[in-house]
A and B are shown apart, each in its own frame.
Chain A
């Protein structure tokens, strides 16, 4: 498999705080690689190091086969576009002027700017300055900035932060289009795991600066447990019954619970019926990315 980015034992310390601890990831070419982790897990630090904003304390990474301490890394970075945390914009310029500024820095013509503005939905902003843009518009302009140089590798740190539902759908569709139509490899971090699960083809689960699991979406699908979601009139009675049967479960609300151990439905319903607990509905589900992540992190914390 071809890898666009591979990190090896990346370590980063800020004072006494260990932000990255021997972090290793492998980003396959053509993938949408999702970084999953809590606040402060090290996702943004990793992105800052990969984009050249920060230097690793130790460890190394290769980008398109070029090591980070090789002089050619600067040339390789021409293939990269990135939005790190907040979009980096010139507030007193229009969207078009902002992108022209980036074409100057890249030394390319500005003929594709209108197409990029159309792609991110900012073609009609006219003379409105970036400082007067909504958060969603700024986010989209940030993505447009990263697309100016026709990148082969795109780094998006929390790209849907502050977007409304419509904006989230648009950005999701745009990311998918960039990946599928232009073949751009995308490294993306997001707190909204449900959204990430709709996009990513590969995942790295990061906790305390360390990758605790790296897997493809296919592997995640296989590893995720199925569970039965049950709605009853009294979860206290449900908990007693399930506990008595030695079944693993999680109470979600006063009326809802998830049952993880495979269970025969008839004996369970009869046992609940005997205790006047009425089952309103039952349905089978796949464990969400969020649940899988919580299971992983919990495992690490208990370990």
Chain B
């Protein structure tokens, strides 16, 4: 496993894609900060007394990356997996006796590392710029820390699904599906209205689907959620099931 990780990390850090996406992550944080600053200036100009104007603090900045992180992880880590199949370099690992389950798990660990690096980079820049330019209202607070931990589990589930799709489909189709799945689920979330007579079912679906959980967190990041533990357990379940299923499917599949 250590050898597979060494191979995977070298491939990740030797390529340009990881660094380009990292730059995009930082740019997104900077852009949101500047956007909030511009909105605050505009609001200040519209209200007579600047002190009375409703100002956006830096706190929501910490959660603005939730939806875009899976896309960026997909581009950096998902493409790394798909390229291994496209170039047939995955063969080099199987031929020399690495087990397929370990190859899958190494891909998963490398992808989760990418996710953690991007999350930390975003948060670090947001906290720094947010504190200097906008100022925080609630942060640091227990509720925000718990919600940030909650976000980690949502992103973990999304990353596991990305690894599952890329490793199972083994082609660019898997990569495209992986980076767009969040937006596809978002589009179909409207169909939840059809369940208006079944509130309980509606709530469970909202809590079980990572993309819908993201909206719940973003809408209220200053308070912990009543069903927070259950929501996290759903994410853990998605992570475990998709990873076990992906590894088993990969173990059985024939390669080119």
Closest to A88 in B: B88
Interface residues of A in 61-103 (CB under 8 A from B): 73-78, 80-82, 84-86, 88-93, 97, 100-102
Interface residues of B in 1-41 (CB under 8 A from A): 2-4, 6-7, 10-11, 14-15
Contacts of A88 in B (CB 8 A): 87-92
Q: Which of A82, A86, A90, A106 touches B3 (beta carbons < 8 Å)?
A: A106
Mark contacts of B72-104 with chain A using CB atoms, 8 A cut-off: 1 yes-contact digit, 0 otherwise: 000000000000000111111111111100000
User: What is the interface of chain A mostly: helix, strand, loop, or mixed?
Assistant: mixed
Contacts of A93 in B (CB 8 A): 14
Contacts of A54 in B (CB 8 A): 254-255
A51 at the interface (CB under 8 A from B): yes
Closest to A12 in B: B254
Contacts of B91 in A (CB 8 A): 51, 53, 82, 84, 88
Q: Which of B2, B6, B87, B254 touches A89 (beta carbons < 8 Å)?
A: B87
User: What is the interface of chain B mostly: helix, strand, loop, or mixed?
Assistant: helix
Q: Are B97 and A80 in contact (CB under 8 A)?
A: yes
Mark contacts of B98-115 with chain A using CB atoms, 8 A cut-off: 1 yes-contact digit, 0 otherwise: 110000000000000000
Q: Are B95 and A82 in contact (CB under 8 A)?
A: yes
Q: Are A78 and B4 in contact (CB under 8 A)?
A: no
Contacts of A107 in B (CB 8 A): 2-3, 6
Contacts of B255 in A (CB 8 A): 48, 53-54
Q: Are B256 and A53 in contact (CB under 8 A)?
A: yes
Tell me the bound Cα distance from A76 to B97 in angstroms: 7
Q: Are B95 and A80 in contact (CB under 8 A)?
A: yes
Chain A interface residue count: which class? 35 or more
Q: Are A101 and B87 in contact (CB under 8 A)?
A: no
Q: Are B94 and A102 in contact (CB under 8 A)?
A: no
Tell me the bound Cα distance from A89 to B88 in angstroms: 7
Minimum C-beta distance from A142 to chain B (A): 10
Query: Given A55-B252, A92-B15, is A81 in contact with B95 using a C-beta cutoff of 8 Å?
Result: yes
Tell me the bound Cα distance from A149 to B97 in angstroms: 11
Closest to B89 in A: A88
Contacts of B11 in A (CB 8 A): 90, 101
Query: Given A77-B95, A80-B96, A105-B92, is A55 in contact with B254 using a C-beta cutoff of 8 Å?
Result: yes
A-B contact list, 19 entries, CB within 8 Å: A48-B254, A52-B95, A53-B95, A55-B254, A73-B97, A74-B97, A77-B95, A84-B88, A88-B87, A89-B87, A93-B14, A104-B3, A105-B4, A105-B7, A105-B92, A107-B6, A145-B92, A149-B96, A155-B95
Ordered nearest first, which 5 A-B pairs have the shortest CB separation? A77-B97, A107-B3, A88-B88, A104-B7, A74-B97
